[in-house]
Amino acid sequence: MEAMSMTSSFTSSFFSISLNPTAASKPTYCKLQSHHPFFKPVKCIQSHSPDSNSVKPNPRNYASRFGCSAVTFSSSQTAELVSSKLQCLVDEFRGLSEPVDRVKRLLHYANLLPALDDSARVNSNRVMGCTAQVWLEVRIDGEGKMRFAADSDSEISRGFCSCLVWMLDGCLPEEVLKVKTDDLVALNVGLPGSGRSRVNTWHNVLISMQKRTKKLIAKKEGKPPVDPFPSLVVSADGVHPKGSYAEAQAKYLSPDELKINELVSVLKEKKIGIVAHFYMDPEVQGILTAAQKQWPHIHISDSLVMADSAVKMAKAGCQFITVLGVDFMSENVRAILDQAGFSKVGVYRMSNERIGCSLADAAATPTYMKYLEAASRSPPSLHVIYINTKLETKAYAHELVPTITCTSSNVVQTILQAFAQVPALNLWYGPDSYMGANIKELFQQMEEMTDEEIAELHPKHNKDSIRSLLPRLHYYQDGTCIVHHLFGHDVVEKIKAMYCDAFLTAHLEVPGEMFSLAMEAKRRGMGVVGSTQNILDFIKERVQEALDRNVDDHLQFVLGTESGMITSIVAAVRNLLEPTKLSSQGAKITVEIVFPVSSDSISRTSSSSPSNPQPIIGDIVLPVVPGVASGEGCSIHGGCASCPYMKMNSLDSLLKVCHHLADKEEELSEYKAERFTLQTPNGKSVADVGCEPILHMRNFQATKKLSEKLVGQILDL
């Protein structure tokens, strides 16, 4: 079957040209012709042999290369025609058992694709996510049908484009939009040595075709353009915000030198270390990122690494550790320092009020303990608890049922390994309901994978073992993070409409609809689902790939997690891009970070009035920063992904704590992270029992296995 274009209506010939030179000059009709209900065979005036120079194709008209007669089809017939053409391509590539033959076929199809004019080979027509440069032109003709033209600097990518243009050029818009990336799975022809993006060119070009189709249809129907999400564009020359929320974020990326010097001076004088979470206020992150260059004992990371970094700082001589995060993070730092023998090192939080966490609070309830009581009655059981919970919760849980902590980056491997070591296990995950549902969905998707694909994820598992564990995998259904909760239907629909061709990042805590969208992007090399560190690493890797290609490019990333990540992302991206500023031959790379914002957002300011009260959770009044313009609200009532609890860690609080240490410690009593003096129901220390699930995870991280001690607890040995 030979990929070919269509005229203003569809050509009605399905035919295949063999790679054999003698057979190539004769068209071989596809078997679909014999039973196609509306197909009328027509005589092909000429066919083009890849080894013949007798026919010179017209670069301005794809259809003229074939000179075939055309017929006009109804809407229902065009839908069937697209399906038939797709199946014809699938059958053809499946019929080529040798990879070299599939390569030859794609190269042949590449030869049939007209080259785009230089005027069309521009960045605005680029298809994002392809290793090679791919350009796509899209328009609507006078009959309301979609017209596509594409090109690439890679012959194999040209072959992919040739097939897609042949399949969809001349279709009605609704038929273009009906095709799904899953329909193209069989067309991933498994080219030898193909990279991540090469084999996904099919998917990325299709997504771009559909995005641009939607945009043209909306314009034709006179619909007002949809306002984009706010974003930051990072280049070697600096950072350029788009939208008021982005402006609020960018404001602190170039911090006040006086504030930096003040902070560094007091940190050095009093030997204070700082551990901070990625989700901090942008002003604080900007100051800390700059201060790191002068004082090494400042670390910004996810919650797991914070305690580890605190221990390293204590070993290096720091006498105090300040924790910028929520309260369970300072609790963990205090407990881990005590476990490591640094009980004399002081640990301080950043507020004299409680700094809560909706997710941690969800696990510190009688409802969660009842959930675990069911686990204790179903031996053998293991409780896998998210690291973002209170030490007290971990202790009480561990006395009910053997418990191991996890992070969003290691939870899947933890669960797989647990079932591998204890096949009859009942596993109970909590407290994040979205993450639990996403994990279960992930395992359900694994049921559709081959044994070989599953073995790549974990060597002890196959389809049978995955099918067996699913009924014994449970998750808590009443715990969410108020930040990740907002990545719901409205946000997902806008991402589909405006950013479906961008790189998509998502934390494992996002709702299922966002998770599914990100997983689809991940499958075609355009996304990542995981922890904050996974997201940061993914962005850095894609930027480095663009730099290695050394071709002008614009990379767009949708940030599917708390917006506080932006400071670390910008710092990492600028570190990669700035060396190119000094090179006259280096490519110009720009990186756009997009902040999803709920359409139902309500703007709040930190000032309170009867008509504009400050939000209250429990007995805590929450100031909301960074206060943005209407339409890009940032609050617990909806809006941007910004945690109001994390934003209680202000620069003023940090400077106050640092200046008062150690001569005015009495004024910081409410800021001090106290040791747990409570006991568990079994009369043991909460701190000791609460640390044990963390130590179990440490062992798993080091050995990739559950410890003998934990397995013994599970089996009640």
Residues involved in catalysis: 130
Q: Where are the beta strands (DSSP E) in 419-567?
A: 426-430, 473-475, 503-507, 527-530, 553-560
CA distance 204 to 527: 12
Please, where are the H alpha helices in 169-302?
Answer: 173-178, 201-220, 244-250, 257-270, 282-291
CB atoms within 10 A of CB 386: 25
Angstrom distance (rounded) from CA 357 to CA 328:
8
In sequence order, what are the residues at sequence separation of 6 or more whose Cβ sits closer than 8 angstroms to the Cβ of residue 583?
none
Report DSSP state, residue 630. T
Helix (H, G, I), strand (E, B) or coil at 699: helix
Q: At CA 496, angle to CA 129 and CA 249, rounded to 5?
A: 80
Burial (CB count within 10 angstroms: exposed 0-12, middle 13-18, buried 19+), residue 289: buried
Q: 418 φ, ψ to 5°?
A: -60, -45
Buried b / exposed e along 309-347 (16+ C-beta atoms within 10 A): bbbebbeeebbbbbbbbbbbbbbbbbbbbbbbebeebbb
User: By the 8 A CB rule, do 137 and 120 touch?
Assistant: yes
> Looking at this protein, which amino acid is placed at residue 154?
S
The CA-atom distances, in angstroms, between 18 and each of 58, 69, 166, 333 are 22, 22, 18, 68
Q: How many helices (H) and strands (E) does the chain have?
A: 25, 24
Neighbour count for residue 514 (Cβ, 10 Å): 27
Cis omega before residue 662 (within 30°)? yes
Backbone torsions φ then ψ of 715, nearest 5 degrees: -85, 0
SS (H, E, C) 194-215: CCCCHHHHHHHHHHHHHHHHHH
Q: Quick check: 34 and 66 in contact, CB under 8 A?
A: no
Dihedral, 27, 28, 32, 37 alpha carbons, nearest 10? 50
